[in-house]
Amino acid sequence: MSLMLMLGISLTVAAGVLLALSRDLFRLIVGLAVLGSATNLIVFMAARPGSLIPPLVEAGTQQLSTAAANPLPQALVLTAIVIGFALLCFALVLGAWLAGNSAGDADQLRDAEPAATDAVKPPVLEP
């Protein structure tokens, strides 16, 4: 793997974290998507791909050629892409539903917290 890719993935992770730390609910979810993609790349690159040949057993042979790409990270990442997709779809819908009450402000989500009138927990002060 080249230094260029290492730099590229690191920059993407940094951007993803910054997006995920946003107060805007939509940017937060997009940040998760970017981080997901970057993580997939890290896993994929961990096997140091170099071959262009897909991991297919060629007709007439009984086993995978040693020149073919490593199939293991591909299987891992394929699973990760699908699961990440499902979770992001859910996050987008959930975000849209929550945004109805909070105008998309991630700092105004109170649904899971104790009620502001709870005696033990005084209302949260705005920063």
* Closest by CA position to 31, among listed 51, 14, 50: 14
- Pair 5, 45: CB distance under 8 Å: yes
# residues near other proteins by CB under 8 A: 101
Q: Binding to other proteins by residue 60, rule CB under 8 A?
A: no
Interface with other proteins in residues 3-42 (CB under 8 A):
3-30, 33-34, 37-38, 40-42
Interface with other proteins in residues 87-126 (CB under 8 A):
87-90, 92-97, 99-101, 103-110, 112-114, 120-122, 124
CA distance 91 to 97: 10
Is residue 7 helix, strand or coil?
Answer: helix
Q: Binding to other proteins by residue 82, rule CB under 8 A?
A: yes
